[in-house]
Structure 1
């Protein structure tokens, strides 16, 4: 968990970002826009200190701290305050040895020193959350100089190896983004019942379960609603890592990927029911961004896919799902379930 603080000490950011060991005193890593770590680094550059930004890197911090450091909380909000609000008590902290940053007191290890935006080193390649290592590909990234290390006796180094689902980048970041997405829907007055980022989609899809009665009350069209949803999410930090938002009706269990993919392939017409957003910021780690010409512009490649039948925007639209649970009378379903073992099945 990286810790940076603005020069005026009003905003302290705890964040998760990858880092690569260069030698025994240096680390290089991603410090990219619009992430908060970059915003704080830029605030130091603005006062002429782009190469002497105090930092701390903490391993083995409290679970609540690592959770909140993964959340897309608002700009200017310090994660330590957010953690305290969730837990109902503050996280014990201690001061670093070489700078004024405060770090969780129960950390297993703490590295501290300075970050330079002007000194860089080739970083990568790295096996990221989307499941690829692109050989011989790296990028110049800012350089961290480690000036002190503190650690507990017999310290434990927590490790997460990202890649094909499922790992902590999907369960942690994806689930937390979905939680913030639901809150944003409530704040924005969207008729959204729930939100989820399915692990199988490598944290690139955001599924939104739409309340059909609420949708019909808006008296809107699929085009207008998709535009509204995309503008709300793709233009905020909540939607930064998301490249496709999928709207489904309230009969779909969005936590069941089998139901999600069924709705996706049967309820939208490719292109016709998808609204592209080519002017928003791309997520640079998405493979189809990093391996295309889009990596130069970092714009677009995002869309909202409407998997709600057009009729459902205006009125109830009855259909029967052709499966065992919903396609047969309840009495028959119960009878089969009650006699399952007698039929010779387990």
Structure 2
């Protein structure tokens, strides 16, 4: 029986591991298929406190990992398929048929940005391709940027990017936006924002150059192919929280984000959530780390309550 099991090895999971390990709870951290989470796809991180010259995403994760190992956190690489809870015992079912039993569970499994699935998009990730304007917008000062999408996420990304880019073009596969009216009005009133309607991105260029130089577009109405120059390519088609393995165990919202109450507590006693899996708003490394700290402290206090005589 474990005292604490943590799902996820991004800033939220590693911070939770740091605090629970320092509390002598000997946490077991389960890494998923992408060790370090979304931060490992970010080249430069300039907005994490304590790094005046910046740090790369993989470096930041490695620093955190070394720190939690120092205090005795145990790591295992598995994929979690299901979680159950019965009589204060939480069971974690993994893809290799391993079943873990724990008194508390901290879910920090993150959220996955939605991508178009293009080989060129994947090849240029971190080299001009991004799904986080607040993370990477600073690096596109005075550059021409495109944002793919037509909902609130795309408009929010585009509006934020106008602070940096010389021009921001929203590419949408329909002839009208799905975003809320107020967001549409803000975008259309911004002189830096323009629109390309009824277009789909079929390729991001230029992989051979190792940087984004433009996109190849297909017109969904007449099928014609065209090219559009840009130096930054941002996805604004949303995120998917990695929470399906909690079906029927904790309350989630309509998009799958775990609902938390009074800190990191979920609707199931003993199960806590931190980071992007419960945060559809901020999605930053520093906010994820903060919520990981909260989850660790909440888990420690929950364990203390179990030890108290009834």
Give the structure-1-normalised TM-score: 0.24
Q: Greater RCO between the two (CA within 8 Å, min separation 6)? A: 2
Give the structure-2-normalised TM-score: 0.26
